[in-house]
Structure 1
Amino acid sequence: MHQRLLHRLAATLLLAAASAPWSSACAQFAPPSGAPGSSVLTTPHVRAELLAHAPQGVAPGEPLWLGLSLTHQPGWHSYWKNPGDSGLPTTLDWVLPAGLDPGEIAWPLPGKIRVGTLTNYGYEGRVLLPVPVTVGSGFAPGPLAQDVHVRLHATWLVCSKECIPEAGEFTLQLPIKSSTALSAAAFEAAREAQPRAVDSSSVSDNQARLDGNALQIRVAGLPAALRGRTLDLFPETPATIAAADPWTQSWNGSLWTARLPLSEQRSSSNPTALPVVLAERTPENAQRPGYRAELQVLGAWPSPAPEVGVPPALGAALEANAARAAGLENVPAAAGSGASLPALTLALLGALLGGLILNLMPCVLPVLAIKVTGLARNARDRRARRADGVAYTAGVLLCFMALGALMLGLRAAGQAVGWGFQLQSPAMVAALAALFTLIALNLAGVFRFGQILPTSLASVQAQHPVADAFLGGVLAVAVASPCTAPFMGASLGLAATLPASQALAVFAALGLGLALPYLAASFAPGVARALPRPGAWMDILRKLMAFPMLATVVWLVWVLGQQSGIDGAGALLILLLGLGMLVWALALPGRARLWTGTAAGAVLALLVWAFAPHITNGAAPAAGESAASTGQNWQAWTPGAVQQTVASGRPVFVDFTAAWCITCQYNKKTTLANAAVLADLAAKNVALLRADWTRRDPAISAALTALGRSGVPVYVFYRPGRPPVVLTEVLRVNEVRSLIATL
């Protein structure tokens, strides 16, 4: 339902663009949750690929395996289910059709990887992590369905001498009735690499007896070929055995025994069973079979060590940061509880100031420049001038409140959305590009709306100039929405936690701030008198404003390229070319309009049929590519990466950004590229993480909410044992350097 609503809103936006020169979409939305990506992702350290094995097709009772293949660059590795002394296991989160039930990862036998004094359990070279999928009787794809759509969100930690958290979104189309077996050899090799259970007749002899700070274990039922051989042991339960400490082992006939030291950092619960994997020790973890035994734990576990993790002060700071960012200490924790009068007053004031500053943003200036011509046109008509200002303000206020209501409604429905969420949708980006192309062509004089619309619609602007001013306010909101001005972030973040009436008041204050300069100018006689008299300059200014509109189109094409790849951007350019040809043809006089317009309409329809799918279905740049393109010092943000890095004693700077955020791009090219700032960050060994919100990402949305924000840009310093610090939206070099000096 949500996805159908989004596409209908995008179509409505284009229809509104054709009815009036200043029409735009008041309804804005998040991207479709099912937008496909790619089955392959390549980072500087790993090539990850989603594979499938369904030799009999996808049907109840037939075998179906899915898996993530990781091919590591030389010297790099990822981790097993128990990473050992350090690291994190790979996680796979599946989105499958009803009736398909994924199981747990069938982990292949790992190897021991030594880094300095640490011993880790993981994989080098190539490994496939297979997952069995049960096709139940409830699987009903429909009579016309040909494929099954598989989606996977995977996270992994890849390490050499340094560790880099990485993640990827993968999709795959599986034919339902035909065989998928190209990866049969890889899945067979992964099956052979899975540890086998020891002889079940000896299960009762397998024990782990606690002896002080050590475990005395015994395993029976191992194959005769292993007797007398030195074995490697891999405990499946993390943080129980000290992986790097020396230990002893011996054979007593067919019984294998060992004494292993307990981990000093043991902080988990006291298990009554301890599953372990055993394999013959070979040089450089050469291929060998593994054997799994579940040991019954006898005796009492010693008291665990205090859990090592994120300092308590950091966790508490995350909860209180929303209040601190708003200048308050008692921000309500959940929507519906309401805010105190001082809190609400500060939020309204911040929104008002943020709206005022939005008028200085480059995305809003073209609209204001055109509104100036309206003031000049009505300089001697006080009533018309004031009506124009009130109608413009009403358009801004109502559109901001509608946008706020939609955002709050989607949040209440469980959607992780925030300010600027509409530009996370490739369909909406394409619709806005088409709208601004029409406006630019109209301003440049290529066509007039009266030439291509029925007379009843074409006369609306002339008969109802107030309606035209109202739509101008709507357009101002549309072009301002990608921007976040100072004071806006904290106010909008607080609005997400307030009851609907208070939250909408914050959005109304933001709209009032945006509209206030023009509203004041329309009521101040001196402003209108100071402008030149109506004349040729108005036509020149009108045509000049076509170029900022075209610049906005260029920017939107670039944004779409970040979301859907080069094919998506190219498809949008082709469609915009066809749209331009159509409006030119419809503006021709006489019979030429009929024949040329019909042909141009047919061409545009063909182009839409052929190229529109590339806009919404195009493959986004691989995760890691965007981070790599910003410089080697920046790494991609992933959930948990900040906490892990801070727990190791290293400060972290996170840039929450998006390609469609103009303020983000300005900061990235100025302050964040400043040589002195980069030198200070390097001197303090600050880890640099970039959270790219160009496409919808619930994990980033949750992180922003924890910081009391609902949009980007957001810049945060995390420091060991101290509260995080949220910087202003428009970064200044001195501000950043001063904070770095305190680390």
Structure 2
Amino acid sequence: MPAAAQLQTKATPVVTTPHVRAELVAHAPDGVAPGADVWVGLQITHQPEWHTYWKNAGDSGLPTELTWKLPPGMVAGDIAWPVPKKIPIGSLANYGYEHTVLLPVQLNISRDFKPAAALAGASGIDIRLKASWLVCRKECIPEEGDFALTLPPQGSTALHKADFDAAFAAQPVPLAQPGTIAVADKVLNVRIDGLPPAARGKTLDFFPETAEVIHTGAVSGKDWAQAWDGESWTATIPLAEQRSASPSQMPVVVALAEADRRDGAPIAWRAEAPVAGSWPATAAPAQVSPALQAALEANTAAPLPAPAAGLLMALLMALLGGLLLNLMPCVFPVLAIKILGFASQAGDRRGQRSAGLAYTAGVMATFLALGGTMLALRAAGEQMGWGFQLQSPAVIAALAALFTVMGLNLAGMFEFGLLAPRSLCAAQAKHPMANDFLSGVLAVVIASPCTAPFMGASMGFAIGMPAPQALMLFAALGLGLALPYLVAGFVPAVSRLLPRPGPWMQTLRRVLAFPMFATVAWLVWVLGQQSGIDGAGALLGLLVALAAVVWSFTLRGRTRWVLASVLVACTAALLLSIGGNIVRTVEPAAVASGARWQPWSASRVTELNAAGRPVFVDFTAAWCVTCQYNKKATLADADLLAEFDARQVVLLRADWTRQDPAITAALTALGRSGVPVYVLQAPGKAPVVLTEILRKDEVRAALARL
């Protein structure tokens, strides 16, 4: 879920977050009937200093989006956007809303709409809304909410009449005359005709509905000037340095300054102005691949086909990345058990081959399942990347419980046969390949926090490819991870390198319990980053209760069942009382203004680049073991940090521990779909993406090229 999600889990009219209160409201003075005037809208009340965005967000930000689910015969129109305000941020500016704003939407009701059919036995007509918005102060947090509202089929619904009246009064009035816009060198010469006498001679604010065309942060001066030519308002407005659109027609809004506005009188006007002249050439961002750029501009989930040579190279990189994934520390606990299993089958060539094939099938099937799920969610509009399942506290808790049980088994507390029904044990003995398949599944689940060399680029390449080719890359990753064990099963020379079975295997089995418990400790720490100290404490308490339940099943006689029943009941009660702490979302700890590492945001990068400052961005997550290794081994090096300071590089950290669509979008633009990713970006230059296993000399070489 987004970085700061709603506190409610059930759809209601109101969703409250630490930053806004959002409410679905309605205005139906004549009831809900064919031809009736029915309005609904999302009313957002912001905490002090926080804001959300207009349809054109300005230099950064995202507009609020509304997705409706309505009864048959009802269709929602577009948002009737109230006039925004200009929000300066250094040399940049955004367009948005502070305090309280209502975004009205008219419901168009068809002539054959039948209120009785829409009721379907309910007491009213259900209106449902899924909304997403970006709320910002100095930092930006994506939020979303599911809303539900029931409208009576007859009678007035006018509780929020004053709010809708204020929103209607804040909308721009269409002008009969379109006005003109002329492109001249690096400026726009704007002329708006037909403004009423009340506006003449006043200083007006200018809001283009087309994004990324003008220099939003420009202030009055030699480059940004406005004047009145009789009854016509004129302005000279500089073009954006990184313009991304060349429209032939520009809808624009001009508005009175707040001090000149009067109750009951229009405050803004809208013109559809044709554009004359030739736009200066624009350059596509160098850091985005042509296929990805085309897909982003088309706003479609159907990517361009990859050239054959590029696909073969990506497949090779994926195979090597999967092979190197065996060396990553997060995979070690499962792979060590797998080696132990191979050693126990020494001399059984058929058993080793079957085990290798089953393990490979489990690995590849899980890679394909995770990859397919990620691609499907992205196609549906969700911002997902590799490792998305570990952004869920519930998944983290389930894995911690699984590894606790596995560790207790390896330590000798119990054998799975003591806990499982005899029929299941018989099936396990009859079909041992199921164990090998499941060990492959578990290996991939645990490997997902790691990104090996070559792996990040190949998965990022998969995002810009059609689904069949992208799934081929995930299959290649799985084949690479399973390849050593597949080879060991079919090449006798390799299997002979494994030691013969003996008493040492029991000792090694006990030793392997400790990596399992270390993995549990790491998972509890990851959960603490997501759900806070209360969530981590709740998980630890439940794991202790789980261990007690497992121990009770090792007893004999009637005591076993009595004690086990009591402990299971206590564990269930504990889960109900404190389990909610595990899945709750907490705000990340505030970072001091003077701290070396500052939180990342797209607007912060733009602001620093506009000020001439280079930035180094660490895209990381608490569940990414490779990220933690790089932090300790490279990014904490005092000499390297001194070089960053000497070159005035600002260090930003993009924490992807929780799902964050803004970070996912930034990774996608860089051709990546997982972490770690390290980017050095200087003003006016393409970003430099460094390798996943970060080396000090690599960072120094990149700094030397600034």
TM-score (norm 2): 0.74
SS at match of 2:412: coil
Aligned residue identity for 1:477? V
Aligned to 1:93: 65
Partners of 1:80 and 1:681 lie apart in 2 by 37
Aligned to 2:204: 233
Aligned residue identity for 1:489? G
Q: 2:233 matched to 1:262? A: no
Aligned to 1:737: 700
Partners of 2:572 and 2:486 lie apart in 1 by 42
Aligned to 1:28: none
- Among 171, 181, 185, the alignment partner of 2:145 is 171
Distance 1:636 1:170, change over 3 A: farther
Give yes or no for contact 1:109–1:194 (8 Å, CA) kept in 2.
Answer: no
Partners of 1:32 and 1:598 lie apart in 2 by 39
SS at match of 2:254: strand
Aligned residue identity for 2:43? G
Distance 1:80 1:258, change over 3 A: farther
**Structural mapping, 1:200-219, within 5 Å:** 215=191, 219=195
Distance 1:512 1:40, change over 3 A: same
Q: 2:547 matched to 1:583? A: no
SS at match of 1:94: strand
Distance 1:420 1:379, change over 3 A: same
Bigger drift between 475-484 and 407-416 goes to 407-416
Distance 1:554 1:110, change over 3 A: same
Q: 2:606 matched to 1:634? A: no
Q: 2:494 matched to 1:513? A: no
Bigger drift between 548-557 and 149-158 goes to 149-158
Partners of 1:732 and 1:713 lie apart in 2 by 13
Give yes or no for contact 1:654–1:691 (8 Å, CA) kept in 2.
Answer: yes
Partners of 2:494 and 2:177 lie apart in 1 by 97
Give yes or no for contact 2:678–2:690 (8 Å, CA) kept in 1.
Answer: yes
Aligned to 1:128: 100
The alpha carbon displacement at 1:485 in A equals: 0.3
**Structural mapping, 1:666-705, within 5 Å:** 666-686=629-649, 688-698=651-661, 700-705=663-668
Q: How many residues align?
A: 656
SS at match of 1:318: coil
Structure 2: gaps spanning 5 or more residues: 9-14, 153-158, 294-300
Partners of 1:53 and 1:218 lie apart in 2 by 35
Aligned to 2:313: 346
Aligned residue identity for 2:585? A
- Among 436, 444, 451, the alignment partner of 1:484 is 451
**Structural mapping, 1:371-382, within 5 Å:** 371-379=338-346, 381=348
The alpha carbon displacement at 1:605 in A equals: 4.0
Partners of 1:458 and 1:405 lie apart in 2 by 33
Give yes or no for contact 2:226–2:236 (8 Å, CA) kept in 1.
Answer: no
Q: 2:560 matched to 1:593? A: yes
The alpha carbon displacement at 1:484 in A equals: 1.0
| Coordinate RMSD, CA, aligned | 5.2
Aligned residue identity for 1:263? I
SS at match of 1:132: strand
- Among 619, 624, 635, the alignment partner of 2:585 is 619
Give yes or no for contact 2:4–2:17 (8 Å, CA) kept in 1.
Answer: no
Distance 1:721 1:451, change over 3 A: same
Distance 1:632 1:169, change over 3 A: farther
Partners of 1:207 and 1:404 lie apart in 2 by 51
The alpha carbon displacement at 1:206 in A equals: 12
Distance 1:261 1:426, change over 3 A: same
Bigger drift between 732-741 and 459-468 goes to 459-468
Distance 1:194 1:659, change over 3 A: farther
Partners of 1:315 and 1:248 lie apart in 2 by 32
Q: 2:44 matched to 1:68? A: yes
The alpha carbon displacement at 1:62 in A equals: 7.1
Distance 1:682 1:291, change over 3 A: farther
Deviations 1:116-139 (A, max 9, x none): xx7978789x62232124567687
Give yes or no for contact 1:483–1:661 (8 Å, CA) kept in 2.
Answer: yes
Give yes or no for contact 1:279–1:291 (8 Å, CA) kept in 2.
Answer: no
SS at match of 2:555: coil
The alpha carbon displacement at 1:486 in A equals: 0.3
Aligned to 2:12: none
Distance 1:273 1:695, change over 3 A: closer
Distance 1:741 1:397, change over 3 A: same
Partners of 2:181 and 2:322 lie apart in 1 by 68
- Among 220, 236, 257, the alignment partner of 1:244 is 220
Identity of counterpart residues, as a percentage? Answer: 41
Partners of 1:554 and 1:190 lie apart in 2 by 56
SS at match of 2:288: helix
Distance 1:565 1:152, change over 3 A: farther
Deviations 1:614-635 (A, max 9, x none): 555x23436xx58779956433
Distance 1:393 1:220, change over 3 A: closer
Give yes or no for contact 2:179–2:272 (8 Å, CA) kept in 1.
Answer: yes
Aligned residue identity for 1:130? L
Give yes or no for contact 2:364–2:478 (8 Å, CA) kept in 1.
Answer: yes
SS at match of 1:581: helix
Aligned to 2:255: 277
Partners of 1:119 and 1:437 lie apart in 2 by 51
Partners of 2:469 and 2:6 lie apart in 1 by 37
- Among 534, 542, 545, the alignment partner of 2:502 is 534
SS at match of 2:79: coil
Partners of 1:349 and 1:710 lie apart in 2 by 18
Aligned to 1:368: 335
Structure 1: gaps spanning 5 or more residues: 1-30, 159-163, 179-183, 324-332
Partners of 1:187 and 1:414 lie apart in 2 by 35
Give yes or no for contact 2:192–2:271 (8 Å, CA) kept in 1.
Answer: no
Aligned residue identity for 2:220? A
SS at match of 2:562: helix
The alpha carbon displacement at 1:505 in A equals: 4.6
Bigger drift between 607-616 and 717-726 goes to 607-616
Partners of 2:167 and 2:379 lie apart in 1 by 47
The alpha carbon displacement at 1:389 in A equals: 4.2
The alpha carbon displacement at 1:195 in A equals: 4.5
Partners of 1:653 and 1:49 lie apart in 2 by 35
SS at match of 2:66: strand
Higher relative contact order (CA 8 A, sep 6+): 1
Distance 1:690 1:591, change over 3 A: same
Distance 1:733 1:105, change over 3 A: farther
Give yes or no for contact 2:55–2:81 (8 Å, CA) kept in 1.
Answer: no
The alpha carbon displacement at 1:335 in A equals: 6.0
Aligned residue identity for 1:665? Q
SS at match of 1:315: coil
Partners of 1:721 and 1:87 lie apart in 2 by 16
Partners of 1:145 and 1:657 lie apart in 2 by 47
Give yes or no for contact 2:82–2:172 (8 Å, CA) kept in 1.
Answer: no
SS at match of 2:285: helix
Distance 1:103 1:376, change over 3 A: closer
Aligned to 1:662: 625
Q: 2:324 matched to 1:357? A: yes
Distance 1:683 1:171, change over 3 A: farther
Distance 1:486 1:156, change over 3 A: same
Bigger drift between 343-352 and 188-197 goes to 188-197
The alpha carbon displacement at 1:521 in A equals: 5.0
Partners of 1:508 and 1:192 lie apart in 2 by 53
Q: 2:134 matched to 1:155? A: yes
Partners of 1:32 and 1:220 lie apart in 2 by 45
The alpha carbon displacement at 1:591 in A equals: 0.9
The alpha carbon displacement at 1:735 in A equals: 0.7
- Among 267, 270, 289, the alignment partner of 1:319 is 289
Partners of 2:51 and 2:534 lie apart in 1 by 33
The alpha carbon displacement at 1:740 in A equals: 1.8
Deviations 1:548-576 (A, max 9, x none): 22222233333344445555545544443
TM-score (norm 1): 0.71
Deviations 1:429-468 (A, max 9, x none): 3332222222122222232211111112124444544443
Partners of 1:471 and 1:232 lie apart in 2 by 70
Partners of 1:80 and 1:402 lie apart in 2 by 38
Aligned to 2:11: none
Deviations 1:389-424 (A, max 9, x none): 454344334443444455455556666544323323
